[in-house]
Amino acid sequence: MLPLTIVLASVISLLKNYSPPKHILGWVIILISTLASYYYGSRVGILIILSFIVLALILLKFKQFIFFLLIFLIITGFFKFGGSLLGFSRIIVQSATLHSPSDSGRLMHLQAGIDAIRQKPKTALFGFGVHTNRLIIGPYLQKLGYFQGGPTPPIIHTTGLGALFIDTGFIGVFLFYANLIVVGCRVLFAKRNPNRLTFLLIIGMFALWPLISDVQDVILLYLLIIPAGIFNYLSQPIKTPTDPTRPIKLCFLASADSIHSVKWISYFCQKNYQVSWISLTPLTAGEINNIKFYRVPGLGKIAPINLLFDTIRLRRLLQEIKPDILHAHYAGANGILAALSGFHPLILTVWGSDILINTKSKIKGPFIKFALRQADLITCDAQHMVGTLNQLGITSDKIKQINFGVDTQKFQPQKQPGSIRKQLNLASRPLIISLRQLEPIYDVSSLIKAIAIVSRKTPDIACLIIGQGSENKSLRALTQSLDIQDKIIFVGHLPNDQLPKYLAAADIYVSTALSDAGISASTAEAMACGVPVIVTDTGENKKWIHSGHNGFIIPAQNPKALAAKIIWLLQNPRTRQSFGQRGRQTIQQKNDYYQEMAKMGKIYQIYARATK
């Protein structure tokens, strides 16, 4: 009756406590972890258990670790003596027992199994590890004085799964384990107390505490709950109670070392929103008032352990913040973590390379596509990115085009553009400016080569290169090899709020990028400042710049073509001025920061009141 009692009690408790995992992996992990612990003598079982150890060390806080340890110490006692209590006909004999049977605990377990075999000799079943020589088990038992005067019972190797269901008490053990998994998840993650029946079941197992003898069993068994707990925990939705009378609570998951994140988030901090910001990186791109900033100091790399580690911490923060909307910027680590958190509504903003390049990766691609599917809404700043998202299986009704926008009040033609020229001792020299980072994708070397060509006709030409990157040394070496180091000024990184006065001092802005999503932020900022632009034919530059009307578009990696346009504009000051005026009008009409953020605010209003 004892096996039946435990089965019934566990089933009742499960029905009262359990919220089934939404994902099939929840069920799979419960089964695999039970089998692995039950057959931990097998090599496969040991490998699985070792992987659980790594997860436990990473995922658990100290209090949770202690809680799980106590629970599984109880389970271990049940497992050790359960054979005789439930009528098990299976025991585990290890090689250490065969050669040095001095451990009283092992002999006690052996005795319990033998007693069960005596009661049911026809179903006798011995399980032993892969390193045990089963041919000596029978003689060893006879040497101990058992089965004298009768035949030795059959001995079967049972490290495989086929013999599992021969054990009469397995169902009771499995349900009991599953029950503890469910209760543990509710107590730790959902902060709900177990019902009285479950509490009595757990407390009742303390009576078996003295029967625990092996430290290895304790370590192996308490880890059984970890994977199932993780999947069950991650599958539970995070709910925020709606209240139309309070401001909308926004939570951004975005890189804090990007000025684009700062610009987007700062707008809503100044409006009637409660804003929180979670980042994997420290805040280095600027400061924002009226915001709660949370740093998740994870590695942020796409690796299973890091993702699990960061996802657990993200969920805890979301449960604390209780936002109405989670908005992730960039479909890499941020988007993937947001998707794994299970929070909805989820808005995801893609930046370009995350879907144009990273989705082609065999490792990163599936994760990014998963994040795109999980998002309730995806925003981007280029029409061709909408097409890319469509190709990835995202329907157009799930996509909105929202530009990052340019603050045209901050970036505008200045009345005294000579301050920077005076500071850099440039006087009235023709001045070219570039704001792209010193990375291969921006091909700044083509600009340097073009300046060398221009200097033959305009010897007093000067060029400001603002930015930093991996090509800093090689680009400086290039200027020396071309003997134009007196014409190229490497300024390095500048805060965004200093850029307007540098742009105002320039005669021409140049971008030699090999790839862009929509119009680059620096190009749009230059146009807003009334500076004529020369850009390469990438991204959606043709949508914003009509060559010969408000700027020039040239082929990529073509220093000669670039030099020709620079020389022409320097020789035609009136055209430069008209290009600059038309360029500013384009940005004011199509890419104004305040207009674009206002569009986003309307979207937040819709999704904040959506049913979760």
* Segment-wise mean pLDDT, segments of 10 residues, the chain, 612 residues: 45 49 42 47 47 46 50 48 37 35 43 48 36 40 47 36 33 47 48 45 41 40 43 58 81 91 92 92 74 74 62 85 94 89 92 86 86 93 90 93 93 78 88 96 96 96 95 96 95 91 94 88 95 93 92 96 97 95 95 95 88 50
In a domain, 612, yes or no: no
pTM score = 0.63
In a domain, 411, yes or no: no
CA distances from 121 to 113, 115, 412, 469 (A): 11, 10, 93, 76
In a domain, 410, yes or no: no
Whether 255 and 186 map to the same domain: the answer is no
2 — alpha (psi -120 to 50), left (phi > 0) or beta? alpha
Q: What pLDDT sits at residue 12?
A: 52
Q: What pLDDT sits at residue 214?
A: 42
Return the CATH number at 472. Answer: 3.40.50.2000
The single-letter code of the amino acid at 596 is E
Query: Which tokens hold the place of 210?
Result: 């003295």
In a domain, 610, yes or no: no
Bond before 345 cis per omega within 30 degrees: yes
Whether 169 and 109 map to the same domain: the answer is yes
Q: What pLDDT sits at residue 71?
A: 54
Boundary residue ending a domain (175, 202, 234): 234
Whether 338 and 469 map to the same domain: the answer is no
Q: What does the alpha-carbon distance between residue 446 and residue 565 come to, in Å, rounded to a whole number?
A: 14
Within 10 angstroms of residue 303's Cβ, the number of other Cβ atoms is 11
CA 225, distance to chain mean position in Å, is 23
The single-letter code of the amino acid at 139 is P
Query: Which tokens hold the place of 519?
Result: 């119009």
In a domain, 596, yes or no: no
CA distances from 385 to 228, 520, 605 (A): 38, 14, 25
Whether 327 and 437 map to the same domain: the answer is no
Alpha helical stretches, state H, 205-356: 215-222, 225-234, 259-269, 304-321, 333-341, 353-356
Q: What pLDDT sits at residue 227?
A: 43
Whether 188 and 265 map to the same domain: the answer is no
Whether 381 and 492 map to the same domain: the answer is no
Boundary residue ending a domain (347, 372, 401): 401
Q: What is the DSSP string of 578-610?
A: HHHHHHHHHHHHH-BHHHHHHHHHHHHHHHHTS
Alpha helical stretches, state H, 87-204: 95-99, 104-119, 137-143, 170-185, 196-204
Whether 533 and 422 map to the same domain: the answer is yes
In a domain, 327, yes or no: yes
Whether 426 and 482 map to the same domain: the answer is yes
In a domain, 413, yes or no: no
Which residue segment(s) compose the domain that 546 sits in?
418-591
The single-letter code of the amino acid at 573 is P
Q: What does the alpha-carbon distance between residue 398 and residue 409 come to, in Å, rounded to a whole number?
A: 32
In a domain, 192, yes or no: yes
Q: What does the alpha-carbon distance between residue 400 and residue 276 come to, in Å, rounded to a whole number?
A: 23
Q: What pLDDT sits at residue 286?
A: 64
Whether 87 and 115 map to the same domain: the answer is yes
Query: Which tokens hold the place of 452?
Result: 């060398």
Whether 281 and 213 map to the same domain: the answer is no
The single-letter code of the amino acid at 106 is R
Query: Which tokens hold the place of 398?
Result: 């799930």
Whether 154 and 273 map to the same domain: the answer is no
Q: How many domains does the chain have?
A: 3
CA distances from 255 to 244, 296, 381, 494, 597 (A): 30, 11, 18, 18, 19
Query: Which tokens hold the place of 12?
Result: 């009742």
Query: Which tokens hold the place of 160?
Result: 């495989």
CB 330, CB 351: distance < 8 Å: yes
CA nearest 58: which of 264, 282, 301, 306? 306
Q: Is the dihedral of CA 496, 500, 505, 507 positive or negative?
A: positive
Q: Is 432 exposed, middle or buried (0-12, 13-18, 19+ CB in 10 A)?
A: buried
Whether 537 and 439 map to the same domain: the answer is yes
What residues form DSSP beta bridges with 486?
A: none
Q: What pLDDT sits at residue 53?
A: 43
Boundary residue ending a domain (185, 209, 234): 234
